[in-house]
Amino acid sequence: GQNIDQPTEMTATEGAIVQINCTYQTSGFNGLFWYQQHAGEAPTFLSYNVLDGLEEKGRFSSFLSRSKGYSYLLLKELQMKDSASYLCAVRGRNSNSGYALNFGKGTSLLVTP
Amino acid sequence: KAGVTQTPRYLIKTRGQQVTLSCSPISGHRSVSWYQQTPGQGLQFLFEYFSETQRNKGNFPGRFSGRQFSNSRSEMNVSTLELGDSALYLCASSSLGVAETQYFGPGTRLLVL
């Protein structure tokens, strides 16, 4: 089976840096994704890691350690519009032996002035 | 390119009824995956279709079914609706299936009374 854990809520100040952690257990690991979801909207793709290390994309960076089953999403220079839910998703084999994208329950980030 | 579209956006049904939801993927994408999102369980994988074939399915009862047409458009059907089926149903498309980044539609919000 698959198990994905991330904090339920986080609060940070505008202009600051925040790190959202994700730990996972999966069989047949084949990639980790981060998505952003604003209230009432669809998830939008932020980043993808399949090899260990850091991927940087503007104000957003994502890190992966496959041996530790651990990833984090780093958001720099926080803006009010970054207030959203951040979803960690792991691609791995599910109980039906196919590959599926399984999501954590999301971390609700509140950015305060 | 136009994004993923879903119809209808909102739906109210009563217990015991059935419902059909539609998803049109991004042009050129042949894979469509369906997810159920609820506050308690988060995003859960329902099934994936690729070139008109169900390629993978999650752990949902047989009341949940789907199909894909030759133009890659997909439909999802839920029969004998239960109150617990109230959720946001999201579809996502990708060019090669779960192996590639998935792009989400706006979702259909289903309320079962």
- Taking the CA of residue A95 and the nearest CA in chain B, the distance in Å comes to 8
CA pair distance B64, B80, nearest whole angstrom: 10
- The dihedral over CA atoms of B16, B17, B22, B23, expressed in degrees to the nearest 10, equals -20
The answer to whether residue A75 scores a pLDDT higher than 70 is yes
For B48, nearest residue in chain A (alpha carbons): A100
Percent of chain B with pLDDT over 90: 82
Taking CB atoms and an 8 Å cutoff, what residues of chain A touch B99?
Answer: 30-31, 91, 99
Per-residue pLDDT tens over the stretch B30-84: 999 999 999 888 899 999 999 999 988 998 999 999 999 999 999 999 999 999 9
Whether residue A100 and residue B103 make contact (CB cut-off 8 A), yes or no, is: no
Of B41, B42, B101, the CB nearest to A45: B101
Return the pLDDT at B1. Answer: 67
A-to-B residue pairs, Cβ atoms closer than 8 angstroms: 62
C-alpha Rg value of chain A to the nearest Å: 14
Alpha carbon of A75 to those of A84, A88, B28, B98: distances in Å? 12, 14, 32, 26
- Taking only the tens place, the pLDDT of each residue in A9-67 is 999 999 999 999 999 999 889 899 999 999 989 999 999 999 999 999 899 999 999 99
Residue of chain A whose alpha carbon sits nearest to that of B91: A42
Q: Are A44 and B104 inside 8 Å of each other by CB? A: yes
Q: Which chain B residue lies closest to A97 (C-alpha atoms)? A: B56
Q: Where are the alpha helices (DSSP H) in chain B?
A: none
Per-residue CA distances from A85 to A79, B32, B33, B84 (Å): 14, 23, 21, 23
Q: Are strands A99-103 and B31-38 parallel, antiparallel or unpaired?
A: unpaired
Partner residue opposite A87 with nearest CB, options B43, B55, B56: B43
Mean pLDDT of A89-112: 88
For residue A105, what are the CA distances in angstroms to A37, B9, B41, B80?
Answer: 12, 23, 7, 27
Q: Tell me the nearest-neighbour CA distance from A98 into chain B, angstroms.
A: 5
Q: Which of residues 12-31 of A touch B (CB under 8 A)?
A: 30-31
